[in-house]
């Protein structure tokens, strides 16, 4: 039977959700216009005043906000409450340019924790569970978010943070962890290690809540099989609070966006035009309950599709598909759009695991695409003929999926570095030019 953390909200009528959104949007716009000069200027530039925004129908009148704005306004330029009311910051893991920081009041943290609690309960979590959190703690939102959610549910929470895989497994066995929270790539690595150590029978996990990076359905099936669990997706981004912006239910066909806190739109990333439900485009969020750091029409760069089709779980909040890539991570190779997720799908369909690296380069003014893939121990072979036949098979499958040639190199098991957080799978050397 499906369980909910806040049934009256998660299963509210569409009219009720819309009424909350209308009221909260108007309030949030007035709040930022009054308290954040950066917003006031942006709105003035676009000729919009708070009075022009009466309901969600007027959302399109507001300007978009991008990561560049957040960098421009770093560190305090978008803070919407007095410093005395803010109690926490979190930050993105961005490697280039200025970091992006997000602020929280205590009330913001309480609401964020509730969003994560909804995700844990949707994955079957109760007070009886032992929730093992190995997302990173600290500036990254993964650890603190799921930790807070687990506390709200009343589960015993293991704040493991990332790293030290053998210790993770020891605690998992000793404390009988039942719900695992980490990136899907780390879940796959944990699964692999548990098997190698011959400890599969000692693990009591029943579910996993995995997100923070893209992962395919094939990878889900692999993890579910290796760890003997049901694996749920969870999505979020630091700017809009962290994990728990949306989460999967038992149907596992997309993630319910917590629409009482966030309004979602899909736009054409090139023109900014708002697209109708069901069309693929860039996801844009407006947070409508935040005090310290409310963002209006924030462009996530994540590409996905929204659907309001009825869900068998009983939740009424809109669902987003798994992100299919990012408008800024999409590789354009020889003029062809390539999403890393397409490559992953081919590899996993052919029996490989998600241990691979994509290297893009430019040689003599022409793009090259190299895919290095680890063989599994079962398929590992010393025979050059066998390996090159396997490589050829992958080259053909990738050509069929992408429409372009990719050079494939099969490498020995365990030669591609494992990640404890978000996996780094794409190396685009062209950026160095
Ligand atoms: O990754 C928050 C998070 C932590 C989500 C733990 C889920 C679990 P950032 O580091 O700011 O925040 O990165 C946000 O990661 O815009 C997406 O591109 C990507 N992302 C997050 N969740 C998913 C997911 C956290 N389930 C960026 N599937 C987002 C695919 C995801 N991509």
Q: Is 302 in the pocket of ligand 1 (CB under 6 A)?
A: yes
b/e map 360-369, b = 16+ CB within 10 Å? bbeeeeebbb
- Dihedral sign of CA atoms 64, 65, 67, 71 in order: positive
Which band of pLDDT confidence, cut at 50, 70 and 90, is reported for residue 95? Answer: very low
Q: Which of 211, 254, 354, 422 to mutate to test the pocket of ligand 1 (most atoms within 8 A of CB)?
A: 211
CA of 138 to the centre of ligand 1 (A): 16
Confidence check: pLDDT of 337 > 80: no
Q: Is the CB of 135 under 6 A from ligand 1?
A: yes
Q: What is the pLDDT of residue 169?
A: 98
Confidence band for 431, pLDDT divided at 50, 70 and 90: low
Higher pLDDT, 70 or 99: 70
Mean pLDDT over the full length of the chain: 94
* Whether the CB of 214 sits within 6 Å of ligand 1: yes
Find the angle CA(98)-CA(186)-CA(124) to the nearest 5 degrees: 105
Give pLDDT tens digits for 139-190.
Answer: 999 999 999 999 999 999 999 999 899 999 999 999 999 999 999 989 999 9
Give pLDDT tens digits for 201-236.
999 999 999 999 888 898 899 999 999 999 999 999
CA–centroid distance, residue 179 to ligand 1 (Å): 19
Mean pLDDT over 59-63 rounds to: 98
User: Among 31-45, 249-263, 345-359, whose mean pLDDT is lowest?
Assistant: 345-359
Alpha carbon nearest to ligand 1 atom 10, residue: 92
Choice among 107-121, 279-293, 359-373 with the minimum mean pLDDT: 359-373
Contacts of 314 (CB under 8 A, 6+ apart): 2, 4, 10, 11
How far apart CA 226 and CA 206 sit, in angstroms, is 12
Q: What percentage of the chain has pLDDT greater than the value 90? A: 82
Comparing 238-247, 286-295, 314-323, 360-369, the range with the smallest average pLDDT is: 360-369
Does 433 score more than 80 pLDDT?
Answer: no
Does 237 sit in the ligand 1 pocket, CB within 6 Å? yes
pLDDT in tens, 101-126: 999 999 999 999 999 999 999 999 99
Please work out whether the CB of residue 235 comes within 6 Å of at least one atom of ligand 1: yes
């Amino acid at each position: 039977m499906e369980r909910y953390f806040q049934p009256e909200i998660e299963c509210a009528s569409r009219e009720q959700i819309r009424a909350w959104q209308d009221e909260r949007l108007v309030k949030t716009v007035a709040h930022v216009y009054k308290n954040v000069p950066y917003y006031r200027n942006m709105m003035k530039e676009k000729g919009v005043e708070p009075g022009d925004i009466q309901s969600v129908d007027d959302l399109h009148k507001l300007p978009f906000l991008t990561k560049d704005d957040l960098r421009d306004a770093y560190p305090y330029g978008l803070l919407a409450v007095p410093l005395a009311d803010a109690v926490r910051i979190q930050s993105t893991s961005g490697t280039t340019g200025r970091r992006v920081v997000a602020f929280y009041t205590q009330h913001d943290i309480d609401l964020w924790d509730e969003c994560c609690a909804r995700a844990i309960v949707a994955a079957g979590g109760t007070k009886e569970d032992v929730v093992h959190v190995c997302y990173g703690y600290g500036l990254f939102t993964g650890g603190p978010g799921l930790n807070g959610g687990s506390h709200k549910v009343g589960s015993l929470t293991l704040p493991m943070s990332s790293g030290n895989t053998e210790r993770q497994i020891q605690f998992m066995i000793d404390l009988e962890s039942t719900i695992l929270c980490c990136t899907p790539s780390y879940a796959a690595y944990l699964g692999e290690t548990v098997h190698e150590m011959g400890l599969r029978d000692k693990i009591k996990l029943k579910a996993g809540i995995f997100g923070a990076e893209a992962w395919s359905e094939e990878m889900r099936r692999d993890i579910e099989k290796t760890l003997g669990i049901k694996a749920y997706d969870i999505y979020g981004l630091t700017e809009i609070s962290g994990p728990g912006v949306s989460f999967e239910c038992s149907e596992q066909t997309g993630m319910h966006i917590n629409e009482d806190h966030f309004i979602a739109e899909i736009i054409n990333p090139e023109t900014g035009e708002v697209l109708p439900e069901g069309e693929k485009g860039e996801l844009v969020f407006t947070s409508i309950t935040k005090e310290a750091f409310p963002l209006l029409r924030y462009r996530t760069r994540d590409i996905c599709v929204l659907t309001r089709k009825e869900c068998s779980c009983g939740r009424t909040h809109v669902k987003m598909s798994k992100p299919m890539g990012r408008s800024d991570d999409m590789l354009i190779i020889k003029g062809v759009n390539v999403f890393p997720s397409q490559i992953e799908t081919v590899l996993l369909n052919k029996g490989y695991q998600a241990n691979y690296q994509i290297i893009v380069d430019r040689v003599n003014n022409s793009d090259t695409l190299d895919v290095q893939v680890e063989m599994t121990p079962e398929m590992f072979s010393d025979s050059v003929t066998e390996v090159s036949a396997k490589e050829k098979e992958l080259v053909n499958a990738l050509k069929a999926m992408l429409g372009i040639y990719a050079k494939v190199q099969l490498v020995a098991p365990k030669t591609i570095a494992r990640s404890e957080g978000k996996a780094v799978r794409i190396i685009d050397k062209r950026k160095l030019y």
